[in-house]
Amino acid sequence: METEQDILELSALAPERKQVPLKWAENPDGVMVELALPSDFGTADHAQLERDRIKFQQLRVRDNLSPAEVNTLDDLLNRLARRLIIGGPDEAVAALPPSVKQ
């Protein structure tokens, strides 16, 4: 006969998400957000992240970027931050400094 101890809860196997405070100028108290786990991303997500990483690296090492290239760098960082921060308001993620998004 099975007891409650014999039943394995799959949720018990999932790694615990880290929660961090996300603060920005308009909300200095901030909100708690969760950080994504590697298991949150499928094969297509990993492929897109790798393409974005390569593009970011190519632009990051260059001097004298055009305004369009600077915008591309910003877009890549914002996209990465948006994928990694779960539940954070868009304006808070956008307000993060580039050093945090990297």
Domains of the chain, residue spans: 4-101
Within 10 angstroms of residue 18's Cβ, the number of other Cβ atoms is 10
Cα distances (Å, whole numbers) of residue 94 to 7, 42, 49: 44, 24, 18
Instruction: Write out pLDDT tens, residues 37-47.
Output: 988 899 999 99
Instruction: Write out pLDDT tens, residues 68-88.
Output: 999 999 999 989 889 989 888
Query: pTM of the predicted model, to two decimals?
Result: 0.71
